[in-house]
A and B are shown apart, each in its own frame.
Chain A
Amino acid sequence: QVQLQESGPGLVKPSETLSLTCTVSGGSITSDYWGWIRQPPGKGLQWIGFISYSGSTIYNPSLTGRVTLSVDRSKRQFSLKLISVTAADTAVYYCARDQELLSDYYYAMDVWGRGATVTVSS
């Protein structure tokens, strides 16, 4: 079955760029949406955005202007870039598949990676 794995630096300096990649195994990125979600310490889940297999994106308005998602179907990877990070961006970052489970656009995040901890600190 499809599995996801996040990878990237665990420590990023303030004002720099956070970059994470999610690698898809057991399947391909030829349908559905592929998203990023984060959980700051002691807080709840925050949706960051998603990208379709064709490259269209929707972002959380609170992060628009700082976040960019991209997809590389040949490598079966999708990526997150978050610029100008601050301590508030410290979180566990998850990637997830957002799949249509029921016709009529009933989407849900049914497969998740195990999460990558990213700390923003000098």
Chain B
Amino acid sequence: QKEVEQDPGPLSVPEGAIVSLNCTYSNSAFQYFMWYRQYSRKGPELLMYTYSSGNKEDGRFTAQVDKSSKYISLFIRDSQPSDSATYLCAMNSGGYQKVTFGTGTKLQVIP
């Protein structure tokens, strides 16, 4: 079993929809949680960064962490075609060492 599980999709939604992207994990030591966005043939770009449980909002994006359920989510409101990308969750227990990534969910927002 992988430490981090992420549905690969693809997920296809109409423009303006609310998108929910999710990851589950098994390592209870994880404290830091990140979401990256990766456009085709580009490097991953850090989108959201949260510590421990709770919510964090940045514009149309909301990251949610539920440590009791070992479940994290990224919500995208009013989705745009420019949001079409692969979204990677990532997490670690702190420090500069290993960050564990999910395999990514491919999102397509249809105009």
To the question of whether A and B form a pair in one complex, the answer is: no
